[in-house]
Amino acid sequence: MTRIWLALTILFALVACKEDDADPTKAEKVIRGLKTVLVEDVEKVTVRRFPSVLQPASVATLSFEVAGKLTEIDLKVGQRVNQGDVIARIDPTAFELRVQNSKAALELAQANADNAAENLERQETLLASGTVTKVAVDNARTNSLTTAAQVTQAEKNLETAKEDLGKTTLQAPYDSIINTLDVESFATISVGARIATVYTTNTFEVSFSVNYEVVNLLTVGKRAKVRLADNPTVVLNAVVSELGSRADTVSSFPVVVTVTDADASIKAGMAVEVSLEFSVSANGGYTVPLSAAIKEGRIENRGRVGEPARLGVYVFDPDTSTVKKRMVMVAGVSENSLLVVDGLSAGERVASAGVSFLRDGQKVKLLPDSK
C-alpha cells in the first residue's frame, strides 16, 4: 500500500509542476468553464473461454429403403451437392425385371377377369332359359369375383415394383456437404444401412460443458463469440441455444451455442474457442480520473498500510453553479483512475480538468462536453 501512495505522490507532483506556472490569484474574474466527469455505477465484465469443435447444426443420415448391389460411387467427403443430386444408386436390373413381371401378371389377371365376366354373363342367360342350374351360375359369379380381385392385386404389385425401382436412386435432400461416406462402390447393402451423412452449410453449432456456477448464469439466447483457432481474426456471433439441466459428468453441464453469422471459410470439424461475457458489479467504489485530485503536496494516511488515503476533489453544485471542495477516501490507482471508496455518490459531477485553478465555492460554468 505504501508503494501505491508513493506512486500517487509522484504523479501529483508531476502534474502540479505543469500547473504551478499559472497563478490562480491572477486569474481574471470571469466565470470559468468547468469540465467534469459523472460519478456513476460501472459494471466490470469477465470473459470465460471454452475450447471446442465446430459442428453442423443439422446432419441428415441417408439410406436406401430397398436392398441391393450398389453401382460405382464417385463422391468424396467434403464435396458440395445440390438438392436432387444423386448420392448413390443400386443396380436397377432386378427391379426393372420385377416391373416387367408385374406388368405381365397384370395382363394375365385382366384376361382371366374378362373371361370370367363373359362366362358369368353367359351362365346367367342359360339359367333364364333353364339350360343350366343355379349352382353353375353361382360358380361363375364366384370365379368372376376372384379374377377381379386378382386384377386388383396385380395392379398393386405393379405399383410397388415401380416404387421400388424409383427407390434405387438416393438423392440429396437439400443443398449440403458430404459429411461421411460409409460404403464402397459395388457393395451389397441392406434396407436402412447408412450410406452417407450430409449437413447444411448455413448453420453451425458448438457444444461444450460448464460447471454449476456458470450454467446458472446462462440463459437461452445469451450472446456469445466463436473464434476460429486456426484463424483468430475470424470471430463469429453466436447465441446460446441449448442448456442441459442434468450434468453429463460430475458437475459438468452441457451447453450448445448456435453460430448466427455466415462465413464461407468455416467448415465442420474446425477447432474453435467460445467466449461468454459475464457482468460483475463494481461494488468496491467509483472511479474518477487521476486529474480530479487536488494537488496539495500531501496525501493523508499514506503511511498506514492497508488503509485508504484521503484526497480532496471539487464537486460541482448544480443549484449554485459552484464547486465545493470535498475530502474523499481513495483505495488505490488503476489505469490513471482513482478508486474512491467513500465521499462520493452516483450522479454527482467531479471536476476533471484545471483543478489547480479552482477554489472552494468558486462560480463556474459547466462545459457541454463534460462526460
Backbone angles phi, psi at 123, to 5 degrees: -65, -40
Mean pLDDT of 190-206: 91
Lowest mean pLDDT among 107-111, 180-184, 294-298, 356-360: 294-298
Looking at residue 26, the DSSP 8-state letter turns out to be G
Adjacent-strand bridge partners of 180: 197
Mean pLDDT of 243-257: 81
Cell output for 275: 467466449
> What pLDDT does 10 receive?
52
> What pLDDT does 303 receive?
42
Lowest mean pLDDT among 279-283, 294-298, 333-337, 342-346: 279-283
Mean pLDDT of 290-312: 68
Query: Closest Cα to residue 292, out of 358, 341, 345, 347?
Result: 358
Does 289 have pLDDT greater than 80? yes
For 63, 83, 338, 353, the CA distances from 289, given in Å and listed in that order, are 68, 61, 6, 9
In the chain, pLDDT over 70 holds for what percent of residues?
Answer: 84
pLDDT tens column, 210-234: 988 888 889 999 999 999 998 889 9
Does 21 have pLDDT greater than 50? no
Instruction: Identify how many contiguous H helices and E strands the chain contains and give both numbers.
Output: 4, 22
Cell output for 59: 446432419
Mean pLDDT of 314-327: 94
Greater confidence, 369 or 368?
368
Angle at which helices 93-129 and 134-166 cross, to 10°: 160
**pTM, whole model, 2 decimals?**
0.53
pLDDT band with cut points at 50, 70 and 90 for residue 13: low
Rg, the chain, Cα only: 43
Cell output for 69: 448391389
d(Cα 299, Cα 318) in Å, to the nearest integer?
28
Does 137 have pLDDT greater than 70? yes
Mean pLDDT of 150-178: 95
Backbone angles phi, psi at 164, to 5 degrees: -65, -35
Mean pLDDT of 314-331: 92
Does 8 have pLDDT greater than 80? no
Domains and CATH numbers, the chain: 2-42+284-366 (2.40.420.20), 47-58+201-281 (2.40.30.170), 59-87+172-199 (2.40.50.100), 92-167 (1.10.287.470)
pLDDT band with cut points at 50, 70 and 90 for residue 335: low
For 50, 107, 222, 274, the CA distances from 278, given in Å and listed in that order, are 14, 76, 10, 13
d(Cα 294, Cα 358) in Å, to the nearest integer?
9
